[in-house]
Structure 1
Amino acid sequence: MAGNSKSQRNAQIIALVFTCPLLALCALLFFRHSSLNRSAAEPAIYAAQSSPVMAAQIGLPMQPGWRIRGSVVAMDGNGNAHLEIPLAGSHGQGKLIEWGQQQNKIWHVCSLTFSSDGGAETILVDRSNTNCAPEQHVF
């Protein structure tokens, strides 16, 4: 019986030795992904918070939600982002839908639409009024 207990203890130690680094790696990848999404979303959030139309529609202060969904593909300071950013104000909420491009490590908003939870859509940045290049896939 003592040998069985010792082998169970050794198995638990080995499991911890492998599980802890794996959990740390998952946390690192999650925070890296969140950071990349947040940096691509910042210009869109600023555009919405600076918009008198948005202030009238959902109220002030406007706060982004913590869960930004979408994809960011970037390499060497250039890339594309397609994001959904939750945004709430004092009397309404919804999501910003952003297409952005990164050029020389700087993110630019190419198109930005706010879709309220009530179904109304507001175009904040029309892609025809930007200097964004046609979308490129960076791999």
Structure 2
Amino acid sequence: MGIALSTTLRTSFADAVTRTREALAQEGFGVLTEIDMKATLKAKLDEDMEDYVILGACNPPLAHRAVNADRQIGLLLPCNVVVRADRTDDGSVIVEAMNPQLLVEVTGEPALREIADEVTTKMQAAIDSLHATT
């Protein structure tokens, strides 16, 4: 099992972030947090890096079910979605979402399997929909 569900887009970074937010919303995910790694590392360490944003996505009904199945699952929530410039290909942006199956793998909690399957379906649909508007 891979760590991520991912795709590569030929678009600007700003457009990829906007489209990713919209695709997540279409699947019932809100973005609770946004971490601009480029700006943070520059401000804190004076280090330069490519455009790189981490979006903390949450689908409240599914998160509620997951927390009810395993209270410690909150340690792995929200689902991180990374939008980052491809360092090897100018003009390409990589969008990656944490593979929700990792929740079951890490916890060993069988009650999370059905929830992880639903999250995977929705997250994959969001990722796949990014190509519908390229």
Both proteins in one fold, TM over 0.5: no
TM-score w.r.t. the length of structure 2 is 0.33
Instruction: Using CA pairs under 8 Å that are at least 6 residues apart, name the structure with larger relative contact order, 1 or 2.
Output: 2
In our comparison, the structure showing a higher alpha carbon Rg is 1
- Which structure's residues are more often helix, by fraction? 2
